[in-house]
């Protein structure tokens, strides 16, 4: 029986789903809304995300992944089933071969949990790839050559700074701190400095629109935020300076900068020379935050380029592996095939 091949970039914040015949079929927030009484899924993706902070008491909005790995198994199964269902339209009777990326820092137990949930969601063959391989391939790095290639992947739940050579990982600094930690830092900033409460979605939008990790000359500009006065409990508007958002993000940005420095410092001299000659590729949603190239150049003299469409880098790498599995078989860290119904009966 022919396989229906599916690639899933299962992210803490956003996920993408690809099929060989249709290309990208889904690109949406990794969120699911469930009825608390039954666990039944009532909404996925953007619709579920917009329910955050607005849903009635009997509905719970869940992000099933935390730091790139499954944190809520029931919700993860519902989300994966939704992805596989959407990807399988027109292919109901074909067996599903699903390729999923996992953080470099994922443990064997966490990877086994992901495989189990993918099987329960309808997959017949599940294969896992460490995310740095997919990210580097998607950024166009020649990871099969005997040369140091540095990729900095700032996602929603994790940041992974990885040097690769000869289709192997030389060193990886995996940090469970990335875009979501930045959103939380923005929320904490407003709460601590102004006693002002804003929601998760509002914090994310402020980060995207006004956030920067290096001074950009817009510090004196101001903007207006809507939220709740924590003292009175009443809705209010607050006017803040753009530079204050940079202050809020500084702690997370410093930790990521330190991870890049540690990764480079642990390299052999020849590999370090390659990295400083060729520079690093910056991928993931966090790559869109302004100021990373300037910050890393000033901090350690490292050239950094933001990859083309950095949100798509991991998926581009997964697609390359899916299309040329024989060429990249050594990059697959876990593979399991579920017996067909006929095999189970025999």
Checking if the pLDDT of 139 tops 90, the result is yes
Instruction: State how many domains the chain has.
Output: 3
User: Do 330 and 298 reside in the same domain of the chain?
Assistant: no
pLDDT band at 340 (very low <50, low <70, confident <90, very high): low
- pLDDT, tens digit, 9 for 90 and up, residues 248-290: 999 999 999 999 999 999 999 999 999 999 999 999 999 999 9
Mean pLDDT over the full length of the chain: 92
Contact 37, 22 (CB under 8 A): no
Q: How far apart are the C-alpha atoms of 100 and 25, rounded to whole Å?
A: 15
Query: What's the pLDDT score for residue 346?
Result: 41
3-state secondary structure of 141: coil
322 located within any domain: yes
- Distance, CA of 132 to CA of 162 (rounded, Å): 7
DSSP conformation letters of 213-267: SS--S-TT-EEEEEEEETTT--EEEEEEEHHHHHHHHHHHHHHHHHHHHHHHHTS
Pair (274, 146) in one structural domain: yes
The reply to whether 129 falls in a domain is yes
pLDDT, tens digit (0-9, with 9 covering 90-100), for 171-196: 999 999 999 999 999 999 999 999 99
Same domain for 95 and 228, yes or no, is no
CATH of the domain at 27: 3.30.420.40
Do 163 and 67 lie in one domain? The reply is no
Q: How confident is the model over 17-58, as pLDDT tens digits? A: 999 999 999 999 999 999 999 989 999 999 999 998 788 889
Residues 276 and 334 in one domain: no
Q: Coil, strand or helix: which one is 341?
A: helix
Report if residue 167 sits inside a domain: yes
Model confidence over 195-220: pLDDT tens digits?
999 998 899 999 999 999 998 766 57
- Contact present, 115 and 128 (Cβ < 8 Å): yes
What's 186's domain CATH number?
3.90.640.10
Whether the predicted pLDDT of 344 surpasses 50: no
Residue 339, pLDDT score: 65
- The strand pair at 32-35 and 41-44 is best described as antiparallel
Q: With cut-offs at 50, 70 and 90, classify the pLDDT of residue 237.
A: very high
Q: Are residues 291 and 265 in the same domain?
A: yes
Higher pLDDT among residues 342 and 119, named by residue: 119
Domain boundary among 203, 230, 249: 249
Whole-number pLDDT of residue 8: 96
Residues 7 and 151 reside in one and the same domain: no
172 shares a domain with 287: yes
Percent of the chain with pLDDT over 70: 96
User: Containing domain of residue 270, as a range?
Assistant: 142-177+259-311
Q: Is residue 254 part of a domain?
A: no
All residues at 6 or more sequence positions from 135 whose CB lies less than 8 Å from its CB, including other chains? 151, 153, 160, 162, 283, 284, 313, 314, 317
* Residue 35 included in any domain: yes
DSSP 3-state percent helix, strand, coil across the chain (nearest 5): 40, 30, 30
Same domain, 163 and 293: yes
- Tens of pLDDT, residue by residue over 86-137, are 998 888 778 999 999 998 988 898 899 889 888 988 899 999 999 999 999 9
- Regarding whether 170 and 220 lie in a shared domain, the answer is no
């Amino acid at each position: 029986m022919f396989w229906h091949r599916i690639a899933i970039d299962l992210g803490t914040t956003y996920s993408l789903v690809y099929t060989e015949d249709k290309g990208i079929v889904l690109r949406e927030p990794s969120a699911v809304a469930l009825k608390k009484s039954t666990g039944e899924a009532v909404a996925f993706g953007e619709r579920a995300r917009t329910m955050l902070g607005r849903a009635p008491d009997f509905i719970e909005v869940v992000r099933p992944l935390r730091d790139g790995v499954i944190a809520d198994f029931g919700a993860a199964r519902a989300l994966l089933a939704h992805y596989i269902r959407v990807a399988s339209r027109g292919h109901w009777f074909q067996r599903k071969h699903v390729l999923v990326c996992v953080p470099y820092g994922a443990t064997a137990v966490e990877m086994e949990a992901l495989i189990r949930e993918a099987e329960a969601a309808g997959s017949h063959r599940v294969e896992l790839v460490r995310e740095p391989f997919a990210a580097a391939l998607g950024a166009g790095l020649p990871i099969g050559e005997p040369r140091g290639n540095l990729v900095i992947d700032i996602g929603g739940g994790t940041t992974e700074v990885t040097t690769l050579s000869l289709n192997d990982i030389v060193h990886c600094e995996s940090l469970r701190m990335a875009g979501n930690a930045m959103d939380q830092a923005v929320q904490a900033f407003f709460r601590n400095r102004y006693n002002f409460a804003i929601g998760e979605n509002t914090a994310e939008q402020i980060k995207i629109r006004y956030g920067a990790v290096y001074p950009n000359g817009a510090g004196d500009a101001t903007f207006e935020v809507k939220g709740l006065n924590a003292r009175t409990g009443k809705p209010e508007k607050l006017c803040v300076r753009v530079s204050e958002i940079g202050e809020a993000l500084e702690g997370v940005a410093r930790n990521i900068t330190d991870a890049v420095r540690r990764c480079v410092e642990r390299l052999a001299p020849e590999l370090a020379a390659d990295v400083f000659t060729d520079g690093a590729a910056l991928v993931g949603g966090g790559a869109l935050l302004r100021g990373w190239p300037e910050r890393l150049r000033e901090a350690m003299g490292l050239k950094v380029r933001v990859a083309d469409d950095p949100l798509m880098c991991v998926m581009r790498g997964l697609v390359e592996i899916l299309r040329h599995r024989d060429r990249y078989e050594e990059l697959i860290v876990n593979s399991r095939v579920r017996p067909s119904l006929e095999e189970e009966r025999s």
